[in-house]
Amino acid sequence: MPGSPIDRFLKDPSISETERQSLLRDFGLDKPLPVQFALYLINTLQGNLGISFRYHPRSVLSVVLARMPWTLYLLGISYSLSIVVGIILGAVAGWKKGSKLDSATIGLSFITRSLPVFWFGMALLLVFSYYVAIFPSSGAVTPGVSYGSFIEFVSDVAWHSVLPMATIVFILLGPPALLTRNLIADVSSEQYIYAAKCKGLPFRTLLFKHALRNVMLPLSSYTAVLLGYIVSGAVFTETVFSWPGVGRLIFEAVTTRDYPLIQGAFLITAISVLLANFLADLLYSYIDPRVRYR
């Protein structure tokens, strides 16, 4: 059980010279540094991200891909919820600028964004998994259980998802709420809104059909960039809740010094952020026909 961090890396104190040499050969660590770098570039371009030190001989790509769906599921839903709730909250607050709701929203946004994720996660865990034991404290599934049907599997995962998702949604409420609030506050003084008000349109229609539509552009760019972090953006949450996703994989890789895995995971994250930005550009021109993508 507990062991020193060196224990994990030094396999065996009595490892002989022959063993060490054969390991070095396996990982190509016996070649000169420039050669290693060149090999790395060539391999990466071909999609070969190397072999994980710890899960040897499994490739980095297979290890990361195997865990990705869990993270995509967790963050996909959490991000969407945080954006939707944030936008609604911010829109109403911005519309009623200066009201108590407005100041409450601003305050809440700042507080939630400043909270450390892992602390908040642990707090939720303590309250809702220990003191009031409604939700499970770790994992994505209940260990050792076999399911009678698919629905049972889905509900088991859903039950396990509540706390991690609540953590992420709460923490990420701030930015979209503040952004929307400021945008709506600006737009609400525009002429066309005044004209629509005079037409006697109800509040909800005014806000969501007229005002919000026109501030979609900056909001969608925020969404697109956030989407880039969908691969590894939940390192702390996944670690606290033992969620078997890419975030926790990175955490474990760092603690066990699995360098190929760390590099591979970060590369995949960087690529997904770039892709997301590209998508954001495309989205601009689609949402607003006045903008043309050249």
Is 221 a residue that touches another protein (CB under 8 A)? no
Count of other CB atoms within 10 angstroms of residue 243: 25
Is 65 a residue that touches another protein (CB under 8 A)? yes
- Find where tokens 């599921």 sit: 73
Q: How far is the CB of 242 from another protein (least distance, A)?
A: 5
Is 270 a residue that touches another protein (CB under 8 A)? no
Nearer to another protein, 32 or 144 (CB): 144
Q: Which of 31, 39, 40, 55 binds another protein (CB under 8 A)?
A: 55
Q: How far is the CB of 240 from another protein (least distance, A)?
A: 6
- Find where tokens 């507080």 sit: 111
Token representation of residue 201:
């349109």
Count the alpha carbons within 13 Å of 117 in the hemisphere toward its beta carbon.
Answer: 18
Subset of residues 74 to 93 that bind another protein, contact rule: CB under 8 A: 76
Nearer to another protein, 90 or 102 (CB): 90
Nearer to another protein, 147 or 278 (CB): 147
CA–CA distance, 270 with 277 (Å, rounded to integer)? 11
CA–CA distance, 196 with 192 (Å, rounded to integer)? 6
Query: DSSP characters for 142-163?
Result: -TT---SSHHHHHHHHHHHHHH
Nearer to another protein, 239 or 269 (CB): 239
Token representation of residue 145:
């259980």
CA–CA distance, 175 with 86 (Å, rounded to integer)? 8
- Find where tokens 């007229």 sit: 210
Please provide residue 145's backbone torsions phi and psi, each rounded to the nearest 5 degrees.
Answer: -100, 140
Nearer to another protein, 97 or 229 (CB): 229
Q: How far is the CB of 98 from another protein (least distance, A)?
A: 29
Q: How far is the CB of 251 from another protein (least distance, A)?
A: 8
Would you state the torsion angle of the CA atoms of residues 262, 268, 270, 271, taken in this order, to the nearest 10 degrees? 160
The amino acid occupying position 99 is: S
Q: How far is the CB of 170 from another protein (least distance, A)?
A: 18
Subset of residues 173 to 212 that bind another protein, contact rule: CB under 8 A: 209
Is 59 a residue that touches another protein (CB under 8 A)? no
Subset of residues 5 to 44 that bind another protein, contact rule: CB under 8 A: 5-9, 11-20, 22-23, 26
Q: Which of 101, 106, 141, 201 binds another protein (CB under 8 A)?
A: 141
